Structure 1
């Protein structure tokens, strides 16, 4: 775990600066206390990071759960909601024991890439108003329609009306620092790899803020990080809230718990699939262990007043792109969150949000590179259509809708391909006799292929010599056998001769396809033995 500390430590600093405003913003968007978001971030880093088998994934509060948490808090009250968070964690432990982690592998690669690209675009779009110092919406507001009635794009159109020049200047300089540091200075010496560009940008932002107080470039508090500042130890302890277990028998609490467990698990598994693809070393995360880690994290988060935890693609991708190699990066970032809220909350509250927007611009661009669109286009419509639809729905609706519609579209395209690939048809015109047609059926023929095969058989002209080759077929649905039995009657009336070619030989005009296929096709002998 300490072998790559020289890479994990700088990466943890970047993840810390990305996670800090997200923890606070998602808590605010969920109508939870800001400190609850920090609790979730700390537990997600230290506890989940320690138990998880993912080397590059980073966990914490996620925007995908904000709407569920908001509705649950409004319905149950916060202390009762915390019981649902604890129970949700217990249910995730059960999911892990039942080995439900395999679910994530049933999502097509095109949908996963679309999810990453869509999130990258959202990150950029949501940070543009922060970049120019005009947007006061919560950081965790990832939906197209925002809490103030505006949309993602209408917010950007209004930027010119109230642009914050101080925020804008510090954002552009910070962006320049990040680009030069990454593309030029990092190759000049080891010092520039140990000290990361985002840390330099944050320090510059604090100095700029302090130097422009009471000037025309002053950055106001609404555009700075806002960490709760306790008056003392008792005030700090007072920020923790504990669950009211007297409502543990409530059906509404259990429904909320199951909803949290299901959505958090699905979001985590999709994130695991995505981060494994981004990992330069292509390591594979044990998904059942990940569910166990997330469940443990949610139990602890709920017990001390935190909101639900999932693995989060924004933090995970920032970790990978900053050079993080092992789980130490996620664990250290959790300790940074813990130490900062205890020792230096006042210093954190001097960081301009526009500096963090510049950091997230880089993260978003790396997720949504133009090269990704080009590669998916070249891969063909079967890959591009689910990819682009997933991207568009995520940007204009939300994450879960995008993944769901992309998955549905991927399934429809797969069914269409199955429909097309049911058989191979070869036609010949012999010197004498009627037309000769050879139909070779696929390895597996199901009811999805029913229409294609029926159409081909019905279009055969009178007097055709049909050779039906089933030597490669190992499974045939009863619907197909029924079509062949029906066609046998039609073939006799249309003077069509059928020759059936199978593993056991050739048979002319079989008496019954049903009996024949029941013996030889549905399950061959070697498969029965295995």
Structure 2
């Protein structure tokens, strides 16, 4: 576990700097105290990181739950909401014990890739205002259409049209450092592998803030990381909150708890699937164990005032891209969060948000590379359409709706493929009136195939000979047997001879298809 410390420690620092603004931003977007986002990040790193079977996944508060949390806190109040988080964690434990971790495997790879790409685009778009010093909206506000009437693109235009000089200068400087570090310097020696570019960018950002304070090139307080409303606070460890259990088992709380458990579990399983795809070593995370770990994390997070936790693709991908090899990087990043919050909040609050935006630009770009679009397009429309629908759905609505849209399109394509692949029809001779027509049914034929098969049967000419081959068929839906039986009656009127060929025998002009398959079922 500790033999990859030279990889895991630098990666944990990168994940720490990525996680810090996201923890705060998601708390703001959720209408929760800022410290609750940090608690979720700490618990997600230390507790879930230790219990999880994933070596490179990182957990914390998730943007996909922000809308659900916002409504729940508004309806229940924060402390009652915390009781729902704890109960939701218990439900996740039940999911894990019931071995429901396979749910995520039923999502097509095109939808998973679309999720990664969509999140990458959102990260880039949402960080542009912060990059130019326009910090009116909190980080983590992933909605395209916003309450104030603005949208993502209008916010970007406003930010670029009226940039703040100090944040913009240090933002471009940090972005230059990151690009230079990852493309040039990292190949020059071990030092540049150990000391990661994001850390250098953050240090340069703090130095810039101190050196330019009070000048026209300086950075105002609103453009810096804010850990609490009181920027002079020496420690934040007095801000823990406990749940209010007075309404714990009322219908609204239980509904909220189940919703959190279900959505958090699904988001975690999808992120596990996506993270495993990104893992250079192609390790497979035990999903049932992951649900148990997430459930334990949510119980603890809710008990001490934290937001719900899921495995998060942004942190996980940052971990992978930074060279993380084992779960040590996730655990250490959690300790870095709690240590920094407890000891040096004043220093953390000197980090310009535009520097963190530059770090997230790189993360977002690696998730949404143009080469991904090209590869999916080359894969054919059955891959590209669910992919692009998922991307657009996530960007213009939210994570869960985008996934639902992509999955719906994927299901339609599966049904279409099933419709097209139900049977194979060919003529023995060029003239169908003189020759034999052979129809071979697929291995599994369901009611989705009714239309395609019925269309072919009705198109058969009079006085023809049809050989219906079901030797490879292992499942024949009762609806299909019924339409075959109906066609059998029509065939007599049109002088069509039907020869039914199966592993259990060959019958010419059977009296009843229903009786034939009842007496001689296909399934052994």
TM-score of the alignment, normalized to the shorter chain, above 0.5: yes
Cα distance, 1:431–1:241 mapped onto 2, change above 3 Å: closer
Aligned residue in 1 for 2:356: 356
- TM value normalised by structure 2: 0.97
Work out whether 1:422 is the aligned partner of 2:406.
Answer: no
What is the deviation of 1:137? 0.7
Where in structure 2 are the equivalents of 1:140-155 lying within 5 Å? 140-155=140-155
Per-residue deviation, 1:249: 2.6
Quote the offset at 1:214 in angstroms.
1.4
Contact 2:224 2:350 in 1 (8 A): yes
Distance (Å, rounded) in 1 between the aligned partners of 2:489 and 2:161: 78
Residue 215, structure 1, aligned to residue 215, structure 2: yes
Q: Does 1:78 align with 2:81?
A: no
Aligned mates of 2:359, 2:374 — CA distance in 1: 25
CA distance change for structure 1 residues 430 and 163 in 2, over 3 Å: closer, same or farther? closer
Where does 1:18-417 land on structure 2 (aligned, <5 Å)?
18-228=18-228, 236-417=236-417
1:521 deviates by 4.0
Q: Which runs of 5+ in 1 are unaligned?
A: 525-530
Q: Which moves more between the two structures, 213-222 or 197-206?
A: 213-222
CA contact (8 A) 1:137 1:148 kept: no
CA change 1:161–1:378 in 2 (3 A) is: closer
Report the RMSD for the aligned CA atoms in angstroms: 1.5
* CA distance in 1: counterparts of 2:508 and 2:69, whole angstroms: 67
Query: Using a 3 Å threshold, how does the CA distance of structure 1 residues 225 and 468 change in structure 2: closer, same or farther?
Result: same
Check whether the contact 2:56–2:326 (CA below 8 A) recurs between aligned residues.
yes
Look up the match of 1:485.
485
User: Match of 1:285, SS?
Assistant: coil
For the 8 Å contact 2:464–2:495, the answer to whether it is kept is yes
**C-alpha separation in 2, matches of 1:402 and 1:3:** 40
Consecutive aligned runs of 4 or more in structure 1 exceeding 6 Å deviation = 229-233, 430-433
1:467-523 residue CA offsets vs partner (Å, 9 max, x unmatched) = 111111111011111111111111111111111122234321112211222243441
Secondary structure of the equivalent of 2:214?
Answer: coil
Aligned length: 523
Deviation at 1:429, TM superposition (A): 3.1
Which whole-Å deviations, capped at 9, do the CAs of 1:121-179 have from their partners, x for residues lacking one?
00010011111111321111011012432100001111244201211111111111111
Structure 2 stretches lacking a partner, 5+ long: none
Q: 1:510 to 1:168 in 2, by over 3 A?
A: same
Structure 2 counterpart SS, 1:247: coil
Is the Cα–Cα contact under 8 Å of residues 462 and 495 in structure 1 kept in the other structure? yes
The verdict on how the C-alpha distance between 1:432 and 1:133 changes in structure 2, with shifts beyond 3 A counting, is closer
* Structure 1 residues 232 and 135, CA gap change in structure 2 (3 angstroms): closer
Aligned equivalents of 1:431, 1:254: Cα separation in 2: 68
> Structure 1 stretch 450-459 or stretch 133-142: which is displaced more?
133-142
8 Å CA contact 1:225, 1:350 repeated in 2: yes
Provide the rounded CA distance (Å) in 2 between the counterparts of 1:270 and 1:431. 53
- Cα distance in 2 for residues equivalent to 1:239 and 1:149: 33
Distance between the aligned counterparts of 2:231 and 2:351, measured in 1? Answer: 18
User: Helix, strand or coil: the match of 2:94?
Assistant: helix
Matched with 1:527 is: none
Task: Judge which range, 279-288 or 512-521, deviates more.
Answer: 512-521
Q: 1:132 to 1:487 in 2, by over 3 A?
A: same
